[in-house]
Amino acid sequence: MVHRKIDSPPARSQATVAMGFVTGMLAGMTRHGLDPAPLLNTLDIDIADTASRIPLERYAALYNRLNRHLDDEGFGLFAQPMRVGSFEFLCRGCLSAPNLAEALARASRFLHIVLPDLAVSVRRTHGHAELVIAETCKLAADTDDPGRVFAFEWLLRLLHGLACWLAGRGIALDSVIFPYRKPPHFADYALIFTEDSRFAPTVPGGTGTLVASFNANLLDLPIRRDEAALTSFLDGAPGKITLLYRRDREMVIRVRDLLRAALPATLSLDDVADRLHLSPRTVHRRLEDEGSSFRGIKDALRRDMALARLTKTRDSIAKVAADLGYADTSAFYRAFVEWTGMAPAHYRRRMTAPSGC
């Protein structure tokens, strides 16, 4: 008798959101004298306990309901509303771009029309790229105002999530500088953006700029989505963006842990599925639902471990390559250049050299 693996129902996500993101999202309603209680009650969200957390799915539902209630995908935070449907047209405008650089350029031009309070641009220099979000006018008198903080969080999350989806893979942010002091919920930034999240308060009375840095080679990634994929993606959007490309996704973590434990041996998708007692198709689907892929997880794991080993140890490049499962050093070299834009030895010298005054 042949035993076939049966696709078990998807496990319920245990990811949660800090209350600081909720109060920031609601700041626009408060400014306009609107009572958020009816919306919160329908989703059983109590904002009185600032230390509590809510399930990610409930947060995404609040996101979408608030947009529809206000007819504003900008949550009432800006000088003019960003009407419902803006995100869809943003996606459609980017879909036919040849690569991620052009898609982000189109996003910048579109947002200039519908969201003039924040200017988006992309800079590329010396192997690094920077996604820049700058205030064109002060969003709030207090630079640490919850609504202003959320405005930067939201737009970076939106653009980063969209870029990942368009490219069909996770895009690692190397660092982000946020133009305000560290908020109470800053611990979640490692899950949502990057562990290297920095905070540089804006000068009182001035405007601020957020700078997110990543590997410039990623700008050359081709757009891998089409109209059929967009139709599925828009189901539950734009709140759906909050569910994707986080670092606390259940299946992503399970796959990553298995791959890491097996090193220097390399596991195939079939191997991982077998150890999870699932079919490869189920693993693939769940990873896709979480905004990831088997190859993307494997590449990100090797990248993270390679960067740490080259920075924190004196192990030879050949040993690092072998420990990460590369058949030969040249294959590791090519992958490393793709990740960082530079050779492993150059990266090590740059990261370990004493900094000047």
Q: Are 110 and 101 in contact (CB under 8 A)?
A: no
Q: How far apart are CA 312 and CA 299, in angstroms?
A: 20
Kindly state the percentage of the chain with pLDDT values over 70: 93
Q: Which residue has the tokens 């804006």?
A: 202
Q: Are 142 and 114 in contact (CB under 8 A)?
A: no
Q: How far apart are CA 351 and CA 357, in angstroms?
A: 16
Cis amide leading into 264 (omega within 30): yes
Whole-model pTM over 0.95:
no
The CA-based dihedral angle spanning residues 274, 279, 281, 284, taken in that order and rounded to the nearest 10 degrees? -40
Q: Are 307 and 300 in contact (CB under 8 A)?
A: no
Q: How far apart are CA 252 and CA 189, in angstroms?
A: 18
The whole-number mean pLDDT for each consecutive block of 10 residues of the chain, a chain of 357 residues, reads 37 69 96 94 88 88 96 97 97 96 98 97 91 96 95 97 90 93 90 90 85 94 92 92 76 86 93 93 83 83 86 90 92 89 87 58
Per-residue model confidence (pLDDT) at position 280: 93
Q: How far apart are CA 151 and CA 115, in angstroms?
A: 11
Per-residue model confidence (pLDDT) at position 42: 93
Q: How far apart are CA 180 and CA 339, in angstroms?
A: 30
Residue closest to 218 by CA, chosen among 289, 296, 153, 154: 296
Per-residue model confidence (pLDDT) at position 287: 84
